[in-house]
Amino acid sequence: MLSRLVLVSGHTLKNSGSFGACMVQASRTFHQSSQSLAPVPPLPEKGGKVRHGIFPEELFTLLYPKTGVTGPYMLGTGLLLYMLSKEIYVINHETFAAASIGAVVIYGIKKFGPSVAAFADKINEDKVAKAQEVKDQAMASLAQGIEDEKKEQWRVEGRHMLFDAKRNNVAMLLETNYRERLHMVTNEVKKRLDYQVELQNLHRRMEQEHMVNWVEQSVVKSITPQQEKESIAKCIADLKVLAKNTQARATLNLRIFSKVLKITVKNVWGKPGFPVKRLLA
């Protein structure tokens, strides 16, 4: 955890070069050997392994062949006893202050260390995820753009259909016009022939009517006054005979009707089942 922080800060220090105005010269004096342009290998995920928080694992692996597992512990104990007994390190009130502070610090790190580390990692992850999302969106939109362009090219290929449709329209219009002309010619000729026929019919009708009128007039003219008086007298006599006949027939009908009525009343009135009320209503 600490080593991660150390590595990151060290990296930024290297990147920012030196301080102030002497930046360029300072960075150049640091490069002793010729520069190689190979890409920088990726940074390790975790720092070097340590035991008990401070002592690197390499010490233990170094001493293992000669002294086994307990070697470094014996070394440590010996060194500590040496320093205490020879009073190279003097125990005073500062020792207790250091011990208490050390205890609190170690407790704090053990308790809150992982959560702080996770928080820092999450911030980093979010940054990377955002960048990745931007990249993905850009790639998707580019691919979509390419697809759309291809589609537009396909559309352009169909432009000949428009002109085919136009030419078809023109051909249809021409054909329609031609047919209309043919029809018009036929209709005109037919009209003229029909006119002649109608004219003839009219002539004949007029001749007929004229003849009929003329015959009527001549007949009426030929009736003499003597013939007229005779025909009127005959008409009056005929009317008189007709009137007498009609009167006789009328009285006969009346007598027959009254007889029938008497018979009906005698037979039907007052018998049971006769619908008086319905008749009267």
- Residue ranges in contact with another protein by CB under 8 A: 11, 15, 40, 42, 128, 131-132, 135, 138-139, 142-143, 145-146, 149-150, 152-183, 185-187, 189-190, 192-193, 196-197, 200
- In which element (H, E) is residue 55 found? strand 55-56
| Residue pair 3/47 in contact by the 8 Å Cβ criterion | yes
**Residue number with CB closer to another protein (62 or 128):** 128
**Residue number with CB closer to another protein (45 or 228):** 45
Residue type, position 184, single letter: M
**Residue number with CB closer to another protein (168 or 231):** 168
Q: Least distance (Å) from another protein to the CB of residue 233? A: 52
Q: Least distance (Å) from another protein to the CB of residue 178? A: 6
Q: Least distance (Å) from another protein to the CB of residue 44? A: 12
Q: Which are the contacts of 162, defined by CB distance < 8 A and separation ≥ 6?
A: none
Q: Least distance (Å) from another protein to the CB of residue 167? A: 6
Q: Least distance (Å) from another protein to the CB of residue 118? A: 17
DSSP string, 13-31: HHHT-SSGGGHHHHHHHH-
**Residue number with CB closer to another protein (197 or 235):** 197
**Residue number with CB closer to another protein (30 or 154):** 154
Residues 140, 148: Cα–Cα separation, whole Å: 12
